[in-house]
Amino acid sequence: MTDYPDILYSVQDRVATITLNRPDRLNAYTDRLATSLKHAFADAAEDKNVRVIVLTGAGRGFCAGADMDLLQGIQTSGQREALPPADAELSPRFKSPYGPSLDEDYGDMKRFAYFMRTKKPIIAAINGPAAGIGLIMTLYADMRFVSDKAVLTTSFAQRGLIAEHGISWLLPRLIGPAHALDLLLSARKISPTEAKEMGLVNKVFAADTFMDNVMAYARLLADTVSPRSMAVMKAQVWKSYFQDFGEALEVADAEMPPSFKWPDFKEGVDHFLQKRAPKFADI
């Protein structure tokens, strides 16, 4: 197994679990962790034994934001160190042959746009506090499930910072501009219940059964639906952020004929009529 500093990686039941692993610092974000994360996602994207990816945190937190040592260093020097390499060599590993291309729209490898280009669904399992860049990380995922003991905050305004790392683009599209500005300007902490009410997260699960519930949903995707269908639909949705309605319809019309020819279409009909579990092709 590949070694990923500050990251745990495992695959079971066709679900890859990627765990931020700095529990003594509430999994605070560092450049080393960011680099490991990209490599883990690239491996999961290419592994035919993986159909779904779950991102979570070790210990009692998801990610407390940027490591305070990093922030103190910026305070002392007046500037951040140069960003880590954009990992251009990793970019082709996220290229998908399924659905409309996302390479031009989400090609930036410096942050988390490769989440969108990963052809497999990504679930952010927010097991504990998520703040700053830790919260932003979850916004790039396709779905967000949260423990009822977690706390969420943007935090930037309380540090004298701005809306960083694409959150000013993502957050209004997820919850609307009024909610987005509330969370950004106040930097207040919000509960899982409030996050669910404003549409920031999909589901709230009890802490004591949190990962069991997350993995049950992940296995539902892995076991019962077509991986190719998921890849195409994910690409359609993320591409739609850059399309008008007519363009989205054109993509749908173009994608239908290939889906009829793919073996999963026949299998989808057959398993339904035969009342058995599906045997969809890996991608």
pLDDT, one tens digit per residue, over 106-122 is 998 888 999 999 999 99
Instruction: Give the mean pLDDT of 156-169.
Output: 93
Percent of the residues in the chain that have a pLDDT greater than 70, as a whole number: 93
Kindly state whether residues 83 and 145 are assigned to the same domain. Answer: yes
214 versus 83: which is more confidently predicted? 214
Q: Which of these ranges, 2-6, 69-73, 165-169, 251-255, has the smallest mean pLDDT?
A: 69-73
Instruction: Specify the pLDDT at position 75.
Output: 46
Average pLDDT of the chain, as a whole number = 93
Count of domains in the chain? 2
Kindly state whether residues 248 and 166 are assigned to the same domain. Answer: no
- Give domain status of residue 38, yes or no: yes
- Give domain status of residue 281, yes or no: no
Of 195, 222, 249, the domain-final residue:
222
- Give domain status of residue 190, yes or no: yes
Kindly state whether residues 152 and 234 are assigned to the same domain. Answer: no
- Give domain status of residue 280, yes or no: no
Instruction: Specify the pLDDT at position 109.
Output: 87
User: Which range has the top average pLDDT, 72-76, 154-158, 231-235?
Assistant: 231-235
Kindly state whether residues 192 and 267 are assigned to the same domain. Answer: no
The model's pTM is: 0.93
- Give domain status of residue 278, yes or no: no
Instruction: Give the mean pLDDT of 69-84.
Output: 52
Kindly state whether residues 45 and 171 are assigned to the same domain. Answer: yes
Give the confidence band of 24 by pLDDT, cuts at 50, 70, 90: very high
Kindly state whether residues 31 and 110 are assigned to the same domain. Answer: yes
Tokens of 53: 């990816």
238 versus 89: which is more confidently predicted? 238
E strands, 77-142, in order: 122-126, 130-131
Nearest to 148 by CA among 117, 190, 111: 190
Nearest to 132 by CA among 107, 111, 159: 159
- Decide if pLDDT at 71 tops 60: no
- Give domain status of residue 1, yes or no: no
Q: How far is CA 221 from CA 122, 150, 152, 213, in A?
A: 11, 25, 26, 13
Kindly state whether residues 32 and 83 are assigned to the same domain. Answer: yes
Kindly state whether residues 188 and 232 are assigned to the same domain. Answer: no
Instruction: Specify the pLDDT at position 86.
Output: 55
State the residue range of the domain holding 236: 226-273
Kindly state whether residues 132 and 258 are assigned to the same domain. Answer: no
Tokens of 94: 């996220």
Kindly state whether residues 65 and 185 are assigned to the same domain. Answer: yes
